[in-house]
Structure 1
Amino acid sequence: MAKINHNNYLDIIDAVWTSAKERGIMHINSEEQSFSGEKFTINGRDLINFGTCGYLGLETHPDLIAGSIELTRKFGTQLSMSRAYIRPAYIQELEELMSQIFDGNKVICYTSTSNAHISVIATIIKPDDLIILDQQVHFSVQFPCKNAKLQGTEVKMIRHSNYQMLEEMIRENYNKYSRIWYMADGVYSMHGDLPDTVILKNLLHKYPKLHLYFDDAHGMGWDGKNGAGYIYDRLGVSERIVIISTLAKGFGCVGGTAIFADPEMYRRTDIFGGPLSYSHPLSPANAGAAIASAKIHLSNQIYTYQSELKDLMGYMNQKLQEKNLTNISAPNSPIYFIGSGLNKVTRNFVHRVLQEGIYVNTATFPVVANDKSGLRFTLTRHNTKADIDLLADVMAYHLPKAIEEEGDKIERVYKDFGCSLKNKETASAIEPIKESNLVIEEYRSIHDINAAEWNLMFGNRRNLSHTGMQCMEEIFSNNEKPEENWSFHYLIVRDENAKIVLATFFTGAIYKDDIVAQENVSRQIEEIRKNNPYYLCSKTLAMGSLFCEGDFIYHDLEHPEWRNSVSYMFEFVSKVKKDIDAVVVFFRDFEEDGFLNQMLEDEGYAKIKLPNTNVVSLPKWDTKEELLLLLESKNSIRNIKRYVFRHEDQFDVTIKRTLTNSEAEKHYQLFLNVKEANYAFNFFAYPKKTVKVLSKYSSDWEFMEFRIKGSNELIACVWSFLGKDYYCPLILGLNYEYNESHHLYKQIMYRMVKRGNELGKFQIYLGLTADYEKQKYGAKSTPFYGYLKVDNIYNLDLLSSLSD
């Protein structure tokens, strides 16, 4: 079976960030000719800087600038050679000063914190170790862990700061590994929250195999003795604790650091350490600035700077509380997050703040959950209390305005972020008011919907006819396994004259979260599911169902209230999601330029690539020669002649409209063969009664059976829906023992096209996957996209960590 194109995690980031860039809130070009740390010049305007991580403002300190210039004059702009050959005097001086900051522990300096992680993880982690990642640990830690997997190191992930889950994972794996490494951030870069060092101390004491690995880049400088950082101040380093910190951010320079108490870890890393040896050392300019910063950190000046910043932090916390903003960040870090919810609200909110002359950051999916995006800003010594007053006033004014303008409700936003809305009058005043005469109809079964009316909308959309939906409801009801029982939710929106403006349906079901993941990821997960069948599965509310594909929404785009009808659909989805306790919402099967695409993105849904759909639309042909004349590819023609026509007479192919119970059993087993072998589109197998139910609806369905001539053994089958003008082979099953010897799959593909032609159908829907085989018969492969919204991104992060 041919592979399909899978959605890539980077594709989601690309789509979300490109949209933000187009709206002028990310990837912004600044224009200032000099930088004091206080303001950026953007589009000819000076914006107050609440976006950088130079918490102590040391990047503009005269001592750092002088140190950078002095070393550049002495040593030039670079030393172009590996540290394995020569370690220049200024690097030796810097590492000795950094060692003093960390109480004499060994320190290695790198060109970046990311390089430090790549170097250290590759050197100190062994194949018989276990890595446990915190869900929100910085990507610069997660990336080298993927390489560690290639060495054979097991990598797992826990939900963010879930120490109960961490301890359970330690206990479960304690006797399997020599060492267990928990990797986390000292200060998390999105919400500014901090790990519980008391719990971690207790776990270290309780489990001697446990080791801690911290990225404390955001804690350096502004906290701790000598500005050594949040983690070092509370845990220090030991033979079981390694800290990676930074020469950037609060330290004021460029570069990364690794701090070791274990002499052997230090020695091994120092002697090679990957990029430590095969890339350039810090430039004299960077080293000179870092030396000057280290000297400040070793002086009493550092405590003055820390005190000044913490005074500003206290003032900021006070103002945010006074303004009753959706602040979900920790009060004791200089990183702040103001929740605004949907992507469209966040884009509006951030744009408004930028227009007021204040630079802030945008935080959106997939870094945070779809409905939990927001405005992120940082506080530095460059800011003043007057700046803080202005920012707090601006955010308090524009947050409700942005929510109102984008049609959301302020109560919902505050509730979603666990915040209390004090000013009820303001809240009710800004609720969006919809002037609409639309009538909303909700149904739980197709039996309650007029068949003629439904068929006018969906009767010619594959197996979505009224009887097609009856069949589907019967298959996925009253089954033993929870994943085989779906709830059906129909929505019809009419105008005051009873004219339908919008109609669609959704199903509630248990989905495998890896449904469109890479096949190797699904294979890993399926091994775990042998003992834990619902591992990485989520209750999902999905447009359409997993027993059909295509266009699941009828919409009258000429109607003046069509946009209101879509708003009602989103409200319907929110209500049903809550009613069935779903944690994922999935709109699916949209083409590139679908009318709903932008509206879905504005509602916070992330666009993902789905398998292509394949449709054959050939004119009527009567002979094999006529078929070949319709095909454009010479390679396809040669392939069909060699592997299909040459073997055609080896098969007996029969068509049936009904099956006996015994025949249905054989069909189902062949379907399971395909289901269990193909992870390209990974979902739970259909109920065992599926074929029997299809057989009841003989006016809609037919069954194609394949046997070797002279044999009674059923080796392949196809279950096909018969539309008025189209033929829709939906499910196939086969015995793989005959696939290579008899080119069985290729024969099935030809027979499906041939059957559609015999029935005089204008289109043959060949479904998902195996694009190449289907294109041989002139199938047009159309890219499909889905739109995803999740309550918690842990499962997505875990899937990403499992990919190679």
Structure 2
Amino acid sequence: MAKINHNNYLDIVDSVWSSAKEKGIMHLNSEEQNFNGKNFTINNKDLKNFGTCGYLGLETHPDLIAQSVELTRKFGTQLSMSRAYIRPTYIQELEELISQIFDGNKVICYTSTSNAHISVIATIIKPDDLIILDQQVHFSVQFPSKNTKLQGTEVKMVRHSNYQMLEEMIRENYNKYNRIWYMADGVYSMHGDLPDTTILKKLLDKYPKLHLYFDDAHGMSWDGKNGAGYIYNRLGVSKRIVLISTLAKGFGCVGGTAVFGDAEMYRRTDIFGGPLSYSHPLSPANVGAAIASAKIHLSADIYSYQSELKELMDYMNLRLEEKNLTNISSPDSPIYFIGSGLNKVTRNFVHRVLQEGIYVNTATFPVVPNDKSGLRFTLTRHNTKVDIDLLTDVLAYHLPKAIEEEGDNVQRVYEEFGIHLEKKENNSSIKHINNPNLVVEEYNSIQDISSIDWDRMFQDRGNISHSGMQAMEEIFSNNEKPEENWSFHYIIVKDKAGKIVLATFFTGAIYKDDIVAQENVSKQIEEVRKNDRYYLCSKTLAMGSLFCEGDFVYLDVEHAEWRNAVKHLFGFVSKVKKEIEATAVIFRDFEEGNVLNQILEEEGYAKIRMPNTNIIKNPKWNTTDDLLALIKSKKKRDNIKQYAIRHLDKFDVKIKNYITDEEASRYFDLFSNVKKANYSFNFFQYPEKMARVLSKYKEWEFVEISLKENNQVVAVIFGYSGSNHYCPLILGLDYNYINTHHIYKQAMFQMVKRGNELNKKITYLGLTADFEKQKYLALTIPQWAYLKVDETYNLELIESYSNNRNQQ
């Protein structure tokens, strides 16, 4: 089958972050001419800084600045030479001082923490190791870990700080690998939460093959003896613990450090270590500042600075508790997260805080689930208690207003983040959709809906007419396998006069989360599903269903109440999602320019690329010569003649509305061949009774293609005939004849021919095989879906399959 354009994880990020940039809350440019750590100047406005990670404020310390200048004067701006040739004296001095901070353990300094990870992971990880990534471990750890797949190293992922899942994975794989590495952060950068080092100690004792690899960049300096960081203070380093830390953030400079308790790991990394040897070393200016900072860390001053920050943290925690905000961060780190829910609320919230003269960060998808975004801020010694009072007052004032202004519910948002909000009488922040101008009707079966009303809206949108929905409900009910039983949910919103403003339907079903992943990714995942059928699957509430495609929403945008009708739609989706215990919601299929696109993004849905759809707006033709005359491209005409028209006399083509059980079984087998061969749009097989059920409905027909030479049925088209359109939805093929008789190309010709014979205005040729369909003048139309997930673990795990060594 032809390949399709797949959604890419980075496309989703691009969409979400571009929107945040347009709203003026991310990718900002500062304008200050000097920086003292306390303020930024953005858009000619001074903002108090609650966004940087220089926790101890050392980046403006006079000793660091003076030493940076001194080394620059002595050694110039750079030494353009690999340290594999020469390691200058100032880097030797720095590494000796950093080693003292870490009790004499071996240390290597890098130009960045990211380079440290690339260097160390590539050097110490071997093909017979297993890497287990915490779901939220920093990207700079995930990236080089995924690259180890190219040498054959297995990389898995566990849900964030889920130690039960971690231990299960250790046990399951214990005898398969020489070493098992758990890679995690010392302090997680979004929520400021901390790993449970007590549990990890027990696991180390219990499993001798277990090794720990930590990125403690956010834990450095403000915690521990000599400011050695959160992890070193609790676990240290050993032959089974490797620590990557930083010269940036709390340390006040630029650069990364790798700390080893194993002499051989240190030696191998030091002798080459990838970017350690083929990139520039730290500049004299950076090293000068780092040497000065290291001396502070080795003095009593470090404890004074830690104590000052701890006092500010205690005060911040007190004020946040008093304000009863949606704070879900650890009280033991200087990183804070105030949940606001939907992306549109977060954008509003952050914008409001910026307008109050306070700089904070935006935390949005994919680093957090797309309906659990929020405002992130950090605390440094540059801040004062007066600043904290101002910030917490501003947060408490604007959070409910941002929620209300974007049409969300304060009570709901607090509950979403597990925070209790005392209900008050006349609390205007708790809103319910109560519009006397609209009436909302909800149904669980098409049988309860007027066929006249439904068909007036949907009879020419693929196979979702009233009769088409009856067939669908019958196929996907009363089956043995869970994935073959769908729930159906219809909503119709009318005005007081009974005029329909909005109508659509959703299905609840078990989806494969890799439904639009790259084919090689789905193939790898399907191997796992041979033993774990529902691996990386989610209960999903989806607009439309996996048995249809097209425009599933009727919306009268000329009606004065259409926006309120859309609000009812989102309320309906939220309610149904809870009722069926879905963890993902999908709105599909939308073309560019649809009025709902922007609204969906504002509601926190991530925009993802779907396979293109292909539509022929049928020009009438009577003979094959007439058809070819319509096609301007000689190359396309020649291809159709060579592979389809010249072979017409080899086939018998029969149109059947009613089929026997034996035929239904044969047709289903042919369809199964296509389903098994095509990973482009990956979903569970349809129920085997599908063809038998469809033969009961007059709108459905079967185009049977058989060989004259032996009467063998080699292809079948399941076609739905609407009043003005033809929809050949399902194709079955005998792959033994794909190359010898070109039966796919023959089936494509017969689809087009049948739509023309029926004198339909439009033929829907469906997803995939764009190039083949374009030969017949099909319009290829990009389609988009909008996704919201409760948490991003499955998406991240699927993305991790993308560069396995065995990809095809």
TM-score w.r.t. length of structure 2:
0.98
> Deviation at 1:648?
2.8
Q: Is the 8 A contact 1:324 1:422 kept in 2?
A: no
One-letter code of the match for 2:784?
Answer: Y
Code of the residue aligned with 1:381 in structure 2: it is R
Which residue in the other structure is 1:217 paired with? 217
Provide, for residues 405-432 of structure 1, a one-character-per-residue CA deviation record: whole Å limited to 9, x for no partner: 1111111111110111136347445536
Please state whether the residue corresponding to 2:763 is helix, strand or coil. strand
Give per-residue Cα distances to partners, 1:675-695, cap 9 Å, x unaligned. 111110000010000000011
Greater displacement, 84-93 / 130-139: 84-93
Partner of 1:487: 487
Mapping of 1:7-86 within 5 angstroms? 7-86=7-86
Residues 560-611 of structure 1: CA deviation (Å, up to 9, x unaligned): 1100000001001111111111111110100111111111111111110000
Partner in structure 2 of residue 716 of structure 1: 715
Q: Choose 710-719 or 245-254, whichever is displaced more.
A: 710-719
1:634: how far off? 2.8
| Separation (CA, whole Å) in 1 of partners of 2:188 and 2:309 | 18
In the alignment, what sits opposite 1:737? 736
- For the Cα contact (< 8 Å) 1:134–1:158, is it kept in 2? yes
Structure 2: gaps of 5 or more residues: 804-808
Residue number in structure 2 paired with 1:367: 367
User: Structure 1 residue 748 and structure 2 residue 753: aligned?
Assistant: no
Using a 3 Å threshold, how does the CA distance of structure 1 residues 427 and 235 change in structure 2: closer, same or farther?
Answer: farther
Q: What is the CA–CA distance in structure 1 between the aligned matches of 2:494 and 2:247, rounded to whole Å?
A: 62
Give the match's secondary structure for 1:126: coil
Q: Which amino acid aligns with 2:702?
A: F
Matching residue of 2:770: 771
Give the whole-Å Cα distance in 1 for the aligned partners of 2:150 and 2:625: 51
- Please tell me whether the aligned partners of residues 410 and 427 of structure 1 are also in contact (alpha carbons under 8 angstroms): no
Matched ranges for 1:526-675 at <5 A: 526-675=526-675
Does structure 1 residue 88 correspond to structure 2 residue 111? Answer: no
Structure 1 residue ranges without an equivalent (≥5)? none
Could you say what secondary structure the match of 1:574 adopts? Answer: helix
Instruction: For residues 162-219 of structure 1, give each alpha carbon's deviation from its aligned partner in whole angstroms, at most 9, with x where no partner exists.
Output: 0000000000000000000000000000000000000000000000000000000000
Which is further off, 740-749 or 249-258?
Answer: 740-749
Contact 1:407 1:432 in 2 (8 A): no
Aligned to 1:795: 794
Specify the code of the residue in structure 2 equivalent to 1:619.
P
State whether residues 442 and 491 of structure 2, in contact with CA within 8 Å, keep that contact through their aligned partners in structure 1: yes
**C-alpha displacement of 1:716:** 1.3
- Alpha carbons 2:410, 2:429 under 8 Å: kept: no
Q: Deviations over 1:531-584 (max 9, x none)?
A: 111111111111111100001010111111100000001001111111111111
Q: Does 1:114 align with 2:120?
A: no
Q: Is the Cα contact below 8 Å between 2:650 and 2:709 reproduced in 1?
A: no
> What is the rounded CA distance, in whole Å, between the counterparts of 1:317 and 1:776 in structure 2?
65
How many angstroms apart in 1 are the aligned matches of 2:592 and 2:484? 31
The aligned counterpart of 2:689 is 689
Indicate the SS of the match to 1:662. Answer: helix
Q: C-alpha distance in 2, partners of 1:421/1:214?
A: 37
Measured in 1, the distance between the counterparts of 2:641 and 2:277 equals: 58
Which amino acid letter does the alignment assign opposite residue 706 of structure 2? R
Could you say which residue in structure 1 is the equivalent of 2:180?
Answer: 180
User: Does the 8 A contact of 2:612 with 2:783 survive in 1?
Assistant: yes
Does the aligned pair in 1 maintain the 2:670–2:734 contact within 8 Å?
A: yes
Counterpart in 2 of 1:725?
724
| Counterpart Cα distance in 1 of 2:637 and 2:63 | 75
In 1, Cα distance between equivalents of 2:425 and 2:128: 61
State the alpha-carbon separation in 2 of the partners of residues 637 and 124 from structure 1. 58
SS of 1:71's partner is helix
Tell me the distance in 1 between the aligned counterparts of 2:713 and 2:736: 12
AA of the residue aligned to 1:527? E
- Distance in 1, Cα, partners of 2:224 & 2:636: 69
Secondary structure in 2 aligned to 1:696?
Answer: coil
CA distance in 1, matches of 2:422, 2:142: 40
Structure 1 partner of 2:190? 190
Is the 2:411–2:430 contact (alpha carbons within 8 Å) kept by the matching residues of 1? no
In 1, distance between residues paired with 2:183 and 2:635? 52
Corresponding residue SS for 1:150:
helix
- 1:2-401 correspondence to structure 2 within 5 Å: 2-401=2-401
Listed one character per residue, the Cα deviations across residues 49-102 of structure 1 (whole Å, up to 9, x for unaligned) are 000000011111111111111111111111112121111111111111111111
Letter in 1 for 2:709: G
Q: CA deviation at 1:247?
A: 0.7
Give SS of 2:717's match: strand
Match in the other structure for 1:506: 506
1:609-629 per-residue CA deviation (whole Å, 9 max, x = no partner) reads 000000112311122222122
Separation of aligned partners in 1, 2:790 and 2:522:
22
After TM superposition, give the deviation of residue 635 of structure 1 in Å. Answer: 2.4
Kindly state the Cα deviation for residue 433 of structure 1 after the two structures are TM-superposed: 6.5
> 1:502 is paired with a residue of what secondary structure?
strand
Q: CA deviation at 1:454?
A: 0.7
Question: Bigger shift: 30-39 or 699-708?
Answer: 699-708
Q: Normalized against structure 1, the TM-score is what?
A: 0.99
Task: Provide closer, same or farther for how the CA distance between residues 603 and 694 of structure 1 changes in structure 2, counting only shifts above 3 A.
Answer: same
Moved more, 18-27 or 418-427: 418-427
Matched residue SS, 2:463: coil
Aligned residues of 1:342 and 1:373 also touching (Cα < 8 A): yes
* SS of structure 1 residue aligned to 2:541: strand
Report how far residue 709 of structure 1 moved. 1.9
Quote the residue 1:473 is aligned against. 473
Distance 1:653 1:102 in 2: 79
How far apart are the structure 1 equivalents of 2:109 and 2:802?
30
Distance 1:147 1:331, change over 3 A: same
2:806 maps to: none
Alpha-carbon separation, structure 1, partners of 2:221 and 2:630 = 71
Contact 1:400–1:430, Cα closer than 8 Å, also in 2? no
What is the CA RMSD across the aligned residues, in angstroms?
Answer: 1.1
Question: Any conservation in 1 of the 2:502–2:553 contact (CA below 8 Å)?
Answer: yes
Separation of aligned partners in 2, 1:46 and 1:526: 54
Equivalent-residue separation in structure 2 for 1:430 and 1:690 (angstroms): 47
Q: Quote the Cα distance in structure 1 between the aligned partners of 2:183 and 2:451.
A: 58
In the alignment, is the contact (CA less than 8 A) between 2:490 and 2:506 conserved in 1? yes
Q: Helix, strand or coil for the counterpart of 2:727?
A: strand
Please, which moves more after superposition, 176-185 or 286-295? 286-295
- For 2:247 and 2:8, the matched residues in 1 are separated by 33
- For the residue of structure 1 that corresponds to 2:594, the secondary structure is coil
Identity, % of aligned pairs? 76
Shift in Å, 1:653: 2.0
Is this contact kept in 1: 2:404–2:429, CA < 8 A?
A: no
